[in-house]
Chain A
């Protein structure tokens, strides 16, 4: 268990951990049209884009108030790449928890594993803020953050678009939280868990020194046991109450679209033809639209 940096959290600094996940760049996942299998061949992995907003926000707080930013991920050994990239952005320390017992985790098991590791990380020096992204682009549940907060009894601040103030003395934090129809301004206390909203900030470019440090780093790698897991039954498939029963491709609609003939027609004729067909298919619509015409 070697740490990439000899980095103690300054006494009056913030101890922050950012949970990041390595995900396949899903823009590049394809399903084979004939066999319906996923073509994973050569699909590159990236840091879940939402997590980068969390990482940058943590680094900003560190730059302002002093402290330490550790990135934490649960995943296969190759998830080390994601940690190294995070170090290249300027994170101070990195921890990978990896174990075959973690395979097949759903959100409950994931939050259990991460929360346990966070507990171990905060044993000597309590963690002030845990950051997560709003959601992942592969799991896309937005549940892991709240799950961690519940387990560790952290004040939960989700969908945060900005951190307005932070008072180290009083341990108080004010944030802006996106809600339906508006933004809540919330005052809460440390320790807390913040899930950052996209667009909250712009990720910095690490310096050449950050990059060299990242290239040399050997992120701390923890097994389930190292991370402090005492009950394997709460991990991975075993610890996941949900079960995936089937995976399938969506079926095509039974009838094909009715195609409007366009050959030899002027745009205006096409326009009229389409309008006729629309209203023929939806007779009620015409009356409704006419009743409340647009501007």
Chain B
């Protein structure tokens, strides 16, 4: 009693949901499979939602999605052991009708998104892992096997939105194994605070206003990584992320790192009296453009984190996931309408759409950053520290002239980086990578 669907989507994260929603809305018979107890059960962290990507899928999402706060202020902090140097940008322009960025709690958001998918007509089964792909004689993917009895289930196309680990794709030999320097491990906690305390602590006037803080420097103990803090309605999400390869090299545990971040004198006051609600560790693909695997083949396509679609510099992931999911969905709809098969050749359409979208353009633009930062850790360690020291020197009134201080600062920077040549090369590399 094996069933056949137009499409099977593996995963009910942002990418799988976007793909399943698009195809189901287009009238296809879609089965979505997730291993979690319910969609979002494995995604309990808070996050930033970039409106644009979702708006293209569900235009009126603002009316009913569980959004926490829209971001009116972005802070950038450089940390050393005792201080932070920061830039804040707050603008009332962010209080627009259709704000551009929101904080969300993934558990709630994913549940909501999944409900939209089901209402669009897709069939969802949870607590079921896809264990492998079923191929025919020619190697075309024709279905999936799961960890439940009752045999395989078949479909014209299998969309892999299985997230960063991408085990299904690996097992089926569609893609290589993940490299430790292509994934970051992020640890994140949610701390509960009364709504009013959140607003008071971050100077938020509007009920739904929110703040995002991005942190570089000492938080990551000289490893390639960053920290962040988001305000939700009644809680604060805080976390740090570093490359897996760095964790194993430095032997620092992710939890210790987060602890250090939380007790930093600049961070601790923001968490005072908060109650810890949940702790999660999750992988983030950070290999960038160069790490993107083959995205399509006969009867299959990859979307979201599984395809390494994360912009590490801007900490964007879910928007790329949703966009890639939507584009696959649109591709399949188009091929179906034209009565074409889901062959590798026909699925090139998806890759073309990607190339034409911001997704590939951004991925390409920043392609050098991950490797650069990894090979030149001073960019995330020495410079933030040096900036902090410099500012402190400037601000302290202690009888030294500002000019002498400047000279001393530059010398200190040079001491830390080794040479002027080193600094100059770093600047040059960074500029190139950003261009």
Does A35 reach chain B (CB closer than 8 Å)? yes
Docked-complex contact B192 and A39, CB < 8 angstroms: yes
Beta-carbon contact of B150 and A207 below 8 Å:
yes
Q: Judge if A239 is at the interface, Cβ distance under 8 Å.
A: no
- Bound Cα distance from A32 to B194, whole angstroms: 8
Known: A30-B192, A207-B149, A208-B146. A42 touches B128 (CB 8 A): no
Stretch touching chain B among A4-12, A51-59, A209-217, A228-236: A209-217
CB atoms of A42 and B107 under 8 A apart: yes
Tell whether, in the assembled complex, residue B123 and residue A208 are in contact, meaning their CB atoms are under 8 Å apart. Answer: no
Q: Quick one: which of B18-44 are within 8 Å of A by CB?
A: 31, 37-38, 41
| A-contact 0/1 string along B216-246, CB 8 Å cutoff | 0000000000000000001000000000000
Whether the pair B1, A209 counts as a contact (CB closer than 8 A) is yes
Task: Check if B151 is an interface residue, CB within 8 A of chain A.
Answer: yes
Complex interface: chain B residues within 8 A of A207 (CB): 148-150
* Assembly CA distance A32 to B276 (angstroms): 11
- Which chain B residues in 114-153 approach chain A with CB under 8 Å? 123-125, 127-128, 146, 148-151, 153
Given A44-B41, A208-B146, A208-B149, CB of A32 within 8 Å of CB of B128: no
B159 contacts the other chain (CB 8 A): no
Query: Which residue of chain A has the shortest Cβ distance to B37 in the bound complex?
Result: A44
Complex Cα–Cα for A33 and B273 (A)? 9
Residues from chain B with a CB closer than 8 A to the CB of A209 are 1, 150
Do B273 and A34 have beta carbons less than 8 Å apart?
A: yes
Contact of A215 among B108, B125, B273, B275 (CB under 8 A): B125
* Mask of B141-177 contacts with A, CB within 8 angstroms, 1/0: 0000010111101000000000000000000000000
Known A208-B146, A208-B151, A208-B153; judge A215-B277 contact (CB<8 A). Answer: no
Q: A41-B234, A44-B37, A44-B38 are in contact. Are A212 and B192 (CB under 8 A)?
A: no
Q: Is B3 an interface residue (CB 8 A)?
A: yes
A206 interfacial by beta-carbon distance below 8 Å: yes
Q: Is the interface of A mostly helix, strand, loop or mixed?
A: mixed
How many angstroms between the C-alpha atoms of A43 and B158 in the bound complex? 32
What residues on A are CB-neighbors of B153 within 8 Å?
208
Q: Is the CB of B277 within 8 A of A30?
A: yes
Distance from B133 Cβ to chain A, minimum over Cβ atoms (Å)? 15
- How far is A38 from B372 in the complex, measured between Cα atoms in Å? 48
Task: Give chain B nearest CB distance to A76 CB in angstroms.
Answer: 15
Q: Mark B188-201, 1 if CB is under 8 A from A, else 0.
A: 00001010000000
Interface status of A147 (Cβ within 8 A of chain B): no
Complex Cα–Cα for A205 and B37 (A) = 13
- Asked if A88 is at the interface (CB within 8 A of a chain B CB), the reply is yes
Bound together, the chains give a CA A39 to CA B274 distance in angstroms of 13
The one of B1, B38, B128 that contacts A211, using a Cβ cutoff of 8 Å: B128
Q: State how many angstroms separate the Cβ of B333 from the closest Cβ of chain A.
A: 22
Question: Does any Cβ of A come within 8 Å of B105's Cβ?
Answer: yes
A175 CB, nearest partner CB in chain B, Å: 30
Complex alpha-carbon distance, A211 and B149, angstroms: 10
Alpha-carbon distance between A58 and B329 when the two chains are bound, in angstroms: 42
- Measured between beta carbons, the chain B residues less than 8 angstroms from A215 are 123-125
Question: In this complex, what residue of A is CB-closest to B66?
Answer: A42
Indicate the member of A30, A39, A44, A211 with the most B CB atoms within 10 Å.
A211
Q: What CA separation (Å) do A42 and B153 show in the bound complex?
A: 33
Point out the residues of chain B lying under 8 angstroms from A35, CB to CB.
Answer: 194
* Interface of chain B residues 261 through 306 with chain A (CB within 8 A): 273, 275, 277
What 6 pairs across the A-B complex have the smallest Cβ distances? A207-B150, A208-B150, A211-B125, A208-B148, A207-B149, A215-B123
List B residues at the A interface (Cβ < 8 Å): 1, 3, 31, 37-38, 41, 105, 107-108, 123-125, 127-128, 146, 148-151, 153, 192, 194, 234, 273, 275, 277
Given A32-B275, A208-B153: 18 more A-B contacts, CB < 8 Å: A33-B275, A39-B192, A39-B234, A39-B277, A42-B105, A42-B107, A44-B107, A88-B125, A88-B127, A207-B149, A208-B149, A208-B151, A210-B150, A212-B31, A212-B123, A215-B124, A215-B125, A216-B123
